[in-house]
A and B are shown apart, each in its own frame.
Chain A
Amino acid sequence: DADVTQTPRNRITKTGKRIMLECSQTKGHDRMYWYRQDPGLGLRLIYYSFDVKDINKGEISDGYSVSRQAQAKFSLSLESAIPNQTALYFCATSDLLLNEQFFGPGTRLTVL
């Protein structure tokens, strides 16, 4: 079984709709991250969480919110989706020693 899972894997939605992307991990890591990937721009950090009670904004948090429901779960919400939020979204985890990050398979989101 995959260590970091994301649901859904693909989603097409309309402008103005509320969308939630979910991430679960079985690695036992405290730190979790949400990134978006756009062609030619690499990965940009949206939000990150060092533990259940610690949530931090990343480089591009506007238009997004997150919830850390448990150590193993970190959800990303788009309250009112817009077309320029069309992207590939990745969840990642890392441990307290700040070593390498482990990525989920990604969610491809299209906002029409």
Chain B
Amino acid sequence: AQSVAQPEDQVNVAEGNPLTVKCTYSVSGNPYLFWYVQYPNRGLQFLLKYITGDNLVKGSYGFEAEFNKSQTSFHLKKPSALVSDSALYFCAVRTMDSNYQLIWGAGTKLIIKP
């Protein structure tokens, strides 16, 4: 079965430190990979995506993610965390075998402490 795993329910980072939110996937076929962010009482917002090409993709708010095919991972990163980055982050993957529907991870709560 195709799946997406976000192994950490919560990540705590001090403001100014680098952050990483992990995502691994198990799918057949070439994956399209996405990161979304959900702020409290808001809908999900698109952050970035990997379709093809350079394994390092840059997105909104200074976030980036690295596609690693051999490790089937797509970790979200930011060099210097802000308190305002505190939110719920979702990884999602889509393939032709999923009829192009998104398969979602369970989400990781990111808490940035001043």
Contact = CB atoms under 8 A, between A and B. Distances in A.
Contact of B90 (A43, A48, A98): A43
Interface centre among B32, B42, B49, B107 (most CB of A within 10 A): B107
Interface in B33-87: 34, 36, 41-46, 49
A101 B90 contact: no
Contact of A98 (B36, B45, B94): B94
Contacts of B100: 98
A41 B106 CA distance: 5
Contacts of B43: 4, 90, 103-106
Contacts of B36: 103
Nearest to B9: A40
Contacts of A98: 32, 94, 100
A66 to B, nearest CB: 15
B99 to A, nearest CB: 8
A42 B107 contact: yes
Interface in A42-78: 42-45, 48, 58
A44 B105 CA distance: 10
Nearest to A90: B43
Interface string B1-34: 0000000010000000000000000000000101
A48 to B, nearest CB: 7
Given A101-B46, A102-B46, A103-B43, 4 more contacts: A43-B102, A48-B101, A98-B94, A104-B43
Interface of A: 4, 40-45, 48, 58, 90, 92, 98-106
